[in-house]
Amino acid sequence: MIQLDRVSKRYPIPGGGGRDALRQVSLTLPAGELTFLTGHSGAGKSTLLKLIMMIERPTAGEVLVDGVPLSTVGTSGIPYIRRKIGMVHQNHQLLFDRSVFDNVALPLVIAGFPRADIGKRVRAALDKVGLLSKEKLNPVMLSGGEQQRIGIARAVVNKPPLLLADEPTGNLDPALSAEIMDLFQDFANVGVAVLIATHDLSLIDRYDHRLLSLRDGRLVADREEPAHGA
Ligand SMILES: Nc1ncnc2c1ncn2[C@@H]1O[C@H](COP(=O)(O)OP(=O)(O)OP(=O)(O)O)[C@@H](O)[C@H]1O
Share of the chain above pLDDT 90, in %: 78
What integer pLDDT is reported at residue 90 of this predicted model? Answer: 82
Pocket test for ligand 1, best of 4, 22, 46, 200 (most atoms within 8 A of CB): 46
What integer pLDDT is reported at residue 9 of this predicted model? Answer: 98
- Note the pLDDT tens digit of each residue in 119-176: 999 999 999 999 999 999 999 999 988 999 999 999 999 999 999 999 998 878 888 8
ipTM: 0.94
Average pLDDT over residues 9-22: 94
Q: 153: closest CA among 84, 79, 81, 102?
A: 102
Q: Closest residue (by CA) to atom 17 of ligand 1?
A: 46
What integer pLDDT is reported at residue 224 of this predicted model? Answer: 58
Give the chain's length: 230
Measured between alpha carbons, how far is 46 from 179 in angstroms, rounded to an integer? 24
**Residue 114 alpha carbon to ligand 1 centre in Å:** 39
Q: Closest residue (by CA) to atom 29 of ligand 1?
A: 42
Assess whether pLDDT exceeds 70 at residue 97.
yes
What integer pLDDT is reported at residue 202 of this predicted model? Answer: 85
**Residue 159 alpha carbon to ligand 1 centre in Å:** 30
**Residue 205 alpha carbon to ligand 1 centre in Å:** 25
Residues lining ligand 1, Cβ inside 6 A: 11, 19, 21, 39, 41-47
Average pLDDT over residues 62-75: 97
Mean pLDDT, the chain, rounded, equals 92
What integer pLDDT is reported at residue 230 of this predicted model? Answer: 38
Q: Closest residue (by CA) to atom 12 of ligand 1?
A: 21
What pTM was estimated for this model as a whole?
0.90
Topology annotation, domain 1-7+21-84+161-230: Rossmann fold (3.40.50)
- Note the pLDDT tens digit of each residue in 185-217: 999 999 999 999 998 888 888 888 999 999 999
What integer pLDDT is reported at residue 61 of this predicted model? Answer: 98
Output the CA–CA distances (angstroms, integers) from residue 216 to 7, 48, 62, in the order listed.
14, 12, 20
Q: Cα–chain-centroid distance for residue 58?
A: 19
Pocket test for ligand 1, best of 8, 37, 47 (most atoms within 8 A of CB): 47
Put residue 6 in one of left, alpha, beta given phi > 0 → left and psi -120 to 50 → alpha.
left
What integer pLDDT is reported at residue 226 of this predicted model? Answer: 46
Q: Closest residue (by CA) to atom 7 of ligand 1?
A: 11
Backbone angles phi, psi at 6, to 5 degrees: 45, 60
Assess whether pLDDT exceeds 50 at residue 88.
yes
Pocket test for ligand 1, best of 19, 214, 220 (most atoms within 8 A of CB): 19
Residue 91: pLDDT band (50, 70, 90) is: confident
- Where do the domains of the chain lie? 1-7+21-84+161-230, 96-159
**Residue 132 alpha carbon to ligand 1 centre in Å:** 38
- Note the pLDDT tens digit of each residue in 34-58: 999 999 999 999 999 999 999 999 9
Q: What is the dihedral of CA 45, 47, 48, 50, to 10 degrees?
A: 130
What integer pLDDT is reported at residue 71 of this predicted model? Answer: 98
